Amino acid sequence: MPNSSTVTTFLLLGFSDTREQNVLYFILLLVVYLAALIANCLIISAVSLDQQLHTPMYFFLVNLSVLDLGSISVTIPNAMINCLLNTWEISYSGCVAQVYSLIFFLTTDFFLLTGMAYDRYVAICDPLHYETVMARTVCIKMVASMWVVGLLYSGLHAGSTFAITFCSNVINQFFCEIPQLLKISCDHLYLIEFGVVVFSACLFFSFFAFIIVSYVHIFKSVLRIPTTQGRNKAFSTCVPHLIVVSLFVSTAGFAYLKPNSQSPSDMDLMFAILYSVVPPLMNPVIYTMRNRDIRVSLWKMFQSGIFSVRNTRFPLIGLIPRCNLLKEN
């Protein structure tokens, strides 16, 4: 194709061409998507319904779950439809929207993880001023600024990506991914996107350095706690966040910093799945397994739901003890 003006659709070549394998991929994607959807919605519901969890840490966690739902909803539903219909076309505007949305959710996710690291730093290193520093209005302003910066940054990234001229419309991925789009460029405007990538690397490295420095101070403070129980409690609030950060940085870093090959590679598909699918699926599991408050809140929510359903189905059950008492009298 001579230039980008003639590109009306892109062809995604992420999965198999055979009908049978596409049905299998559809089932796997459906299971993964439903699991991520249910897990993140459970965390959002548990934190929203439990007054004891209305703290800055869980406020950030709810926003993280919302971003995880957004990021996995950008790629998986479209891939499921393509597998089911055995077609891999996506419109030019749909590809633009996919790139913009995915960059927005991923970058805002990382900004939020940085804010969560600061929250843990204040809670452990300066607990006496925690309520003042991490007040409700402060947390809302922090999260709102992260969302706004994510919107602006994703617009810059998407705009620079689609300013290039495309010589082909074949993308060797199951969604519109920036590294794969750069492979099919045929002019020198990709240098603009390269500049944006360098700027992004510097930006994310500074945020990552902030997280590392925060945890260095956190570990120093935790090691000064005299009791083993106190140290374990402090570590238990940091370990889930540290695991989530490591998972996000490692998967996204491998996907965007590894050398690009012109020929299709299974490694490209694997890394794309790792950073776009695995974190939204694993983040709720990590926080649930390592967080007792979340587990207790979920159990209370399930219990209240079960008992409310029972009372709705059998409304006269609650009257049985009173009826027996009237008979005895």
Q: How far apart are CA 68 and CA 66, in angstroms?
A: 5
Under a CB-based contact definition with an 8 Å cutoff, are residues 62 and 94 in contact?
no
Q: Can you give the pLDDT at residue 15?
A: 73
DSSP state letter for 165: P
pLDDT value, residue 7: 77
Architecture of the domain made up of 4-290: Up-down Bundle (1.20)
Could you tell me which residues come within 8 angstroms of residue 272 by beta carbon, excluding any fewer than 6 positions away? 14, 173, 174, 175, 177, 255
Written as six digits, the tokens of 218 are 């956190």
Place of tokens 């925690």: 130
Report how far residue 24's alpha carbon sits from residue 212's, in angstroms, rounded to the nearest whole number: 41
CA-CA distance, 16 to 110, in Å (whole number)?
32
Q: Which residues of the chain have pLDDT under 70?
A: 1-5, 14, 16-17, 187-194, 255-266, 289-290, 305-329
- Sequence-ordered strand ranges (E) for the chain: 9-12, 89-91, 170-171
Structure tokens at 236: 């238990």
3-state percent helix, strand, coil for the chain, nearest multiple of 5: 80, 5, 15
Task: Please report, for the chain, the start and end positions of each structural domain, with discontinuous segments joined by +.
Answer: 4-290
Rounded to the nearest 5 degrees, what angle is found at the Cα of 244, between the Cα atoms of 35 and 58? 80
Per-residue pLDDT, 4: 44
DSSP class of residue 166 equals B
DSSP state, 11? E
pTM, to two decimals: 0.82
Q: What is the pLDDT of residues 236-290, one digit of tens each?
A: 778 888 888 887 787 777 766 666 555 556 677 777 888 888 888 888 888 776 6
